[in-house]
């Protein structure tokens, strides 16, 4: 099946099987491996990307459902070597350890700050509850989100 | 004045060098890698907990591109996937593919094909005939007479070893006269504790990519904590000369001990690559990964006695380890369990009997703390009970009995002994207790009503490496190379792996500190087995103490060479030259003080040496650390128990850590935050029960039914305080020690003690489930 979508600002057309997952399309066809496979069932959030600005689990999204959609992945966030303030905040606050969950957290954070530029700590925790991090205990991640919110204000 | 005040690079937060790659999605983990012409592999796993494979029929595989692999096609070698111990402590009972699976999920066959889907279809076309055998899921049932033998013969030190009653290995230890000691004790408490099987839930599943090379070699990119041990094992199994095996460093998407051993997928993928002559990638699904590894489930019978003054006099520990279907490191762990136990508190008389027992369950391996969280939970809860019995405050009781500076320490087992030279226990306990207002905490069981609050504490430690003045049964040394580049920067190269804690950055900072340059002048260079000297493994919280020790040793050698070469070029005496950093030129400068013109930047030095053909300033060396300093930690935790639902919430955490010199404050605190999350979850969430009807995991490998903490389960930022003591480890690089595992070890004890303080009820099984809390509270006084 033919499907056309905009990925990180670039229109792309793919010929996909109806069961092709967005995650596999991004990782295998476009080498956009920032979105990770963590569980394949929407439990960990490591595959989070933005679909028309909304965070979705790419492992539970069919590529054919993305017809006409705009997809943003972590690779599209920075321009050249200049990092996005969310990316900078994650480094500055020590929110990155092994880094495997980081792209998912960053994309979820982008969606959160799009919806709510000045989130309270409970709002941050509520919004990011679907993203699992096994390294940080979330402390430095929540701090990074606060720092990014401040930087973007 | 703090000892840290003279440091230029250490003790300050600096952005990690892999940070940009990690936040932009450009970091390539093993599971992200691919190669042209690559095949994708799938593993055929036993659906039976215990069976004999009678036949494997691959004739149904119609895909001409598919390459199958059966047990007959792999080297018939028994091995142990973990190569950290000497041969007399390494029990071998694994094969690349088995014809006698001993747990649901054990690899029996494999296939590689053009795509994951093609491989899966080929896998489903293979027919395996099994003869099911009786299976056992409990360590005690497994040791009973008449229980089905799980292994008949295994290997130890090249000798066949018959397994009796499914006991994989055992260890006893004794000091003093425990029987007499207990007779003299005024207060004795004896309890039986049972821990759960926990899954690491490292976010990246086990993955490997293998490329066959011309001449019969292989290049390997895999999830591992040890490059060199991977190479040694592949050499031992396949007989490939080591120079033709290249294991390349790739970042780890979490590990927590689950890749100390060479992962089961690695030799399978090597065999498939050798057979197919194509690159082969093998990544486990999450369901498969959950069937691959878990922590050791332990049962302890622990007895401690104290005299009338509150001094501990005697202890006895029986430990039973349910290790699942294979040994990864059961014997060394038996040594560590006794080591962890006797190195917490001074016990003049003590005895220990430890047994590791095979069951038909997922094999256990190290999980952050390596048994220390389990035994420390038991000890710290029993210490509370014994203090109560002796009429001493639990915190004061610990202060009277803890092992600290000047005491003998053998956390890593009976063959790894050294004397403690730095200790911040008192500072941790005094500052922590003040912050949590310890002495005004509620009286246990004094509360009524739905929500009840409790404050508990637990303390502990972990080793920094497994170093010692003399060799034992644990291999522990590392190495590094440092060289001066022609622009005045340095390359730091080491086989050491970073789990994500920032180990390599910390070690690069140690190099920068020694050479007097800012951290941006030291590059961390990715490496492989061919370009590095041996490093045993990143485990035992040894990254900074041992890896940083190696980096410092080599940096000193480089500094000496800079001095010698500069002396020659400047016509000066080497020992008279001085170093400074010039921020304007962004260069380190070596100079003869007071003599105009007698100076060189590092860049000028390197250039001049190049033009005069004097060579590169570089050094490479191995380093064995002389000691095994414990890093100490203490947690004070306030919880709220909902007696209607059984839910426990963390309200407040105060954590103190003695890690010697702090290198990266935010990342060090991050270790504590993450350690708390895992320890918390160990108490309230995590277990991997097996279904006795099928032998499979009750959750069938689904992460949906294995809950780990989320953002909402942790305390608010303002309610989580981490502090570091002002301590200095004389044997560590710039006074530094480890942190990774000590950050976790005392958490479960502190949380369990807080629950007891809230409810007045003590639990001896982990996890403390909601049902257990409801049953205990309901039985006591009903719902208020």
Is B684 a domain residue?
yes
Looking at the structure, do residues B648 and B587 belong to the same domain, yes or no?
no
Q: Is B367 an 8 Å CB contact of chain A?
A: no
| B474-532 confidence digits (pLDDT tens) | 999 999 999 999 999 999 999 999 999 999 999 999 999 999 999 999 999 999 999 99
**pLDDT mean across residues, chain B:** 97
Structural domain tally of chain B? 3
Looking at the structure, do residues B661 and B519 belong to the same domain, yes or no?
no
Q: Do A130 and B205 touch (CB under 8 A)?
A: no
Is B582 a domain residue?
yes
Mean pLDDT calculated for residue range B169-196: 98
Is B187 a domain residue?
no
The pLDDT-based confidence of B778 (bands split at 50, 70, 90) is confident
**pLDDT for B749:** 98
Contact between B381 and B199 (Cβ < 8 Å):
no
The domain of B590 spans: 3-26+477-623
Contact between B723 and B611 (Cβ < 8 Å):
no
Q: Do A78 and B22 touch (CB under 8 A)?
A: no
Looking at the structure, do residues B729 and B671 belong to the same domain, yes or no?
yes
Residues of chain A neighbouring B500 (CB-CB closer than 8 A): 96-99, 135
- At A80, which helix (H) or strand (E)? none
Looking at the structure, do residues B645 and B715 belong to the same domain, yes or no?
yes
| B426-442 confidence digits (pLDDT tens) | 999 999 999 999 999 99
Is B379 a domain residue?
yes
Looking at the structure, do residues B121 and B212 belong to the same domain, yes or no?
yes
Looking at chain B, the whole-number percentage of residues with pLDDT higher than 70 is: 99
**pLDDT for B5:** 67
Strand ranges in A52-141 using DSSP code E only, listed in sequence order: 54-57, 70-72
- Spatial separation of the C-alpha atoms in residues B663 and B669, rounded to whole Å: 11
Q: Do B201 and A134 touch (CB under 8 A)?
A: yes
| B80-132 confidence digits (pLDDT tens) | 999 999 999 999 999 999 999 999 999 999 999 999 999 999 999 999 999 99
Where among B290, B312, B335 does a domain terminate? B290
Looking at the structure, do residues B231 and B279 belong to the same domain, yes or no?
yes
Listed residue (B361, B285, B374) closest to B324, CA to CA: B361
Which SS3 state, helix, strand or coil, does residue B642 take?
Answer: strand
CB count in 10 Å sphere of residue B42? 25
Q: Is B16 an 8 Å CB contact of chain A?
A: yes
Mean pLDDT calculated for residue range B619-644: 98
**pLDDT for B4:** 59
Going along chain A from its start, the domains and CATH numbers come out as 2-76 (3.10.20.30), 85-152 (1.10.150.120)
Residues of chain A neighbouring B666 (CB-CB closer than 8 A): 93-94, 140
Is B170 a domain residue?
no
Where among B561, B590, B623 does a domain terminate? B623
| B662-710 confidence digits (pLDDT tens) | 999 999 999 999 999 999 999 999 999 999 999 999 999 999 999 999 9
Is B281 a domain residue?
yes
The pLDDT-based confidence of B779 (bands split at 50, 70, 90) is low
pLDDT above 90 (res A79): no
**pLDDT for B429:** 98
**Residue in chain B nearest A121 by alpha carbon:** B716
Q: Do A130 and B23 touch (CB under 8 A)?
A: no
Looking at the structure, do residues B642 and B708 belong to the same domain, yes or no?
yes
Is B128 a domain residue?
yes
The pLDDT-based confidence of B784 (bands split at 50, 70, 90) is very low
Looking at the structure, do residues B566 and B594 belong to the same domain, yes or no?
yes
The pLDDT-based confidence of A81 (bands split at 50, 70, 90) is confident
CATH number at residue B682: 3.30.365.10
Listed residue (A140, A109, A78) closest to B20, CA to CA: A78
- At B333, which helix (H) or strand (E)? helix B330-342
Polymer length in residues for chain A: 153
Looking at the structure, do residues B447 and B485 belong to the same domain, yes or no?
no
Residues of chain B neighbouring A16 (CB-CB closer than 8 A): none
Looking at the structure, do residues B652 and B736 belong to the same domain, yes or no?
yes
CATH number at residue B267: 3.90.1170.50
**pLDDT for B3:** 60
Looking at the structure, do residues B754 and B769 belong to the same domain, yes or no?
yes
pLDDT above 50 (res B1): no
Q: Which residues contact B107 (CB under 8 A, 6 or more apart)?
A: B43, B44, B45, B46, B96, B97, B98, B264, B268
The pLDDT-based confidence of B767 (bands split at 50, 70, 90) is very high
pTM: 0.97
Is B595 a domain residue?
yes
Q: Do A140 and B702 touch (CB under 8 A)?
A: no
Looking at the structure, do residues B744 and B686 belong to the same domain, yes or no?
yes
């Amino acid at each position: 099946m033919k499907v056309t979508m905009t990925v990180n600002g670039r229109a792309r057309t793919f010929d996909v099987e109806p069961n092709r997952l967005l995650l596999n399309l991004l990782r295998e066809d476009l080498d956009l491996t920032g979105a990770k496979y963590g569980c394949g069932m929407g439990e960990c959030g490591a595959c989070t990307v933005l679909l028309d600005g909304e965070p979705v689990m790419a492992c539970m999204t069919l590529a054919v459902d993305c017809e006409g959609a705009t997809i943003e992945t972590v690779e599209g966030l920075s321009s050249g070597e200049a990092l996005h303030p969310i990316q900078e905040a994650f480094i500055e606050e020590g929110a990155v350890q092994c880094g495997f969950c980081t792209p998912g957290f960053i994309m979820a954070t982008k969606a959160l700050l799009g919806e709510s530029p000045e989130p309270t700590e409970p709002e941050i925790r509520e919004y990011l509850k679907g993203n699992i991090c096994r390294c940080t205990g979330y402390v430095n991640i929540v701090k990074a989100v606060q720092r990014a919110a401040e930087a973007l204000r | 004045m703090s000892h840290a005040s003279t440091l230029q690079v250490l003790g300050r937060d600096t952005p990690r060098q892999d940070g940009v790659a990690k936040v932009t999605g450009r970091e390539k983990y093993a599971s992200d890698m691919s190669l042209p012409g690559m095949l994708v592999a799938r593993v055929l796993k036993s659906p039976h907990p215990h069976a004999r494979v009678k036949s494997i029929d691959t004739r149904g595989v119609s895909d001409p591109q598919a390459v199958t692999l059966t047990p007959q096609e792999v080297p018939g070698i028994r091995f142990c996937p973990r190569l950290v111990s000497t041969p007399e402590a390494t029990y071998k009972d694994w094969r690349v593919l088995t014809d006698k699976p001993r747990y649901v999920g054990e690899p029996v066959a494999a296939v590689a094909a053009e795509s994951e889907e093609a491989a899966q279809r080929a896998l489903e076309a293979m027919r395996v005939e099994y003869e099911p055998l009786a299976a056992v899921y409990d360590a005690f049932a497994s040791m009973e007479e008449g229980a089905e033998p799980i292994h008949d013969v295994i290997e130890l030190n090249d000798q066949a070893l018959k397994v009796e009653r499914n006991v994989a290995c055992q260890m006893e230890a004794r000091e003093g006269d425990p029987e007499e000691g207990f007779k003299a004790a005024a207060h004795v408490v004896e309890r039986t504790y049972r821990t759960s099987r926990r899954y690491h839930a490292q976010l990246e599943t086990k993955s490997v990519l293998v490329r066959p090379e011309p001449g019969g070699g292989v290049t390997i990119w895999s999830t591992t904590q040890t490059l060199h041990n991977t190479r040694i094992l592949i050499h031992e199994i396949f007989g490939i000369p080591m120079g033709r095996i290249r294991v390349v460093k790739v970042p780890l998407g979490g590990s927590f001990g689950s890749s100390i051993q060479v992962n089961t997928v690695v030799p399978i993928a090597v065999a498939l690559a050798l057979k197919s002559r194509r690159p082969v990638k093998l990544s486990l699904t999450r369901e498969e990964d959950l069937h691959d590894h878990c922590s050791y489930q332990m049962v302890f019978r622990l007895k401690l006695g104290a005299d009338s003054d509150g001094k501990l006099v005697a202890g006895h520990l029986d430990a039973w380890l349910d290790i699942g279907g294979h040994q990864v490191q059961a014997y060394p762990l038996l040594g560590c369990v006794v080591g962890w136990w006797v190195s917490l508190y001074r016990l003049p008389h003590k005895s220990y009997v430890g047994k590791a027992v095979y069951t038909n369950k997922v094999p256990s391996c190290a999980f952050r703390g390596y048994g220390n969280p389990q035994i420390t939970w038991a000890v710290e809860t029993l210490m509370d009970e014994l203090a109560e019995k002796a009429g001493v405050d639990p915190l004061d009781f610990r202060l009277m009995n803890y092992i600290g500076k000047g005491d003998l320490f053998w956390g890593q087992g009976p063959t790894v002994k050294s004397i403690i030279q730095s200790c911040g226990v008192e500072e941790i306990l005094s500052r922590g207790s003040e912050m949590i207002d310890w002495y005004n905490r509620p009286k246990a069981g004094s509360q009524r009503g739905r929500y009840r609050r409790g404050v508990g504490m637990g303390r502990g430690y972990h080793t920094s490496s497994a170093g010692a003045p003399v060799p034992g049964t644990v291999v522990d040394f590392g190495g590094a190379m440092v060289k001066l580049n022609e622009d005045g920067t340095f390359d730091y190269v080491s086989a050491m792996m970073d789990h994500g804690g920032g180990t390599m950055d910390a070690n690069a900072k140690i190099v920068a500190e020694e050479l007097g340059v800012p951290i941006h002048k030291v590059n961390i260079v990715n490496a492989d087995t061919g370009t590095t000297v041996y490093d045993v493994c990143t485990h035992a919280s040894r990254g900074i103490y041992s890896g940083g020790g190696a980096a410092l040793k080599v940096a000193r050698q480089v500094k000496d060479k800079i001095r010698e070469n500069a002396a020659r070029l400047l016509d000066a005496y080497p020992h008279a030259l001085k170093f400074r950093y010039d921020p304007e030129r962004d260069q380190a400068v070596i100079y003869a003080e007071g003599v105009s013109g007698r100076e060189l930047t590092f860049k000028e030095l390197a250039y001049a040496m190049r033009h005069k053909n004097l060579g590169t300033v570089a050094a490479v060396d191995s380093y064995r650390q002389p000691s095994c300093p414990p890093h100490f930690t203490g947690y004070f935790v306030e919880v709220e128990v909902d007696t209607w639902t059984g839910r426990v919430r963390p309200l407040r955490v105060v954590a103190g850590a003695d890690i010697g010199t702090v290198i990266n404050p935010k990342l060090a605190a991050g270790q504590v935050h993450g350690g708390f999350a895992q320890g918390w979850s160990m108490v309230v969430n995590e277990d991997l029960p097996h279904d006795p009807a099928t032998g499979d995991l009750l959750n069938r490998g689904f992460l949906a039914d294995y809950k780990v903490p989320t953002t909402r389960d942790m305390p608010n930022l303002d309610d989580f305080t981490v502090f570091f003591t002002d301590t200095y480890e004389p044997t560590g690089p710039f006074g530094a020690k480890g942190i990774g595992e000590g950050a976790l070890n005392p958490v479960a004890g502190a949380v369990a003690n807080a629950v007891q303080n809230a409810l007045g009820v003590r639990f001896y099984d982990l996890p403390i489930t909601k049902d257990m809390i409801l049953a205990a509270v309901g039985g006591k006084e009903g719902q208020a």
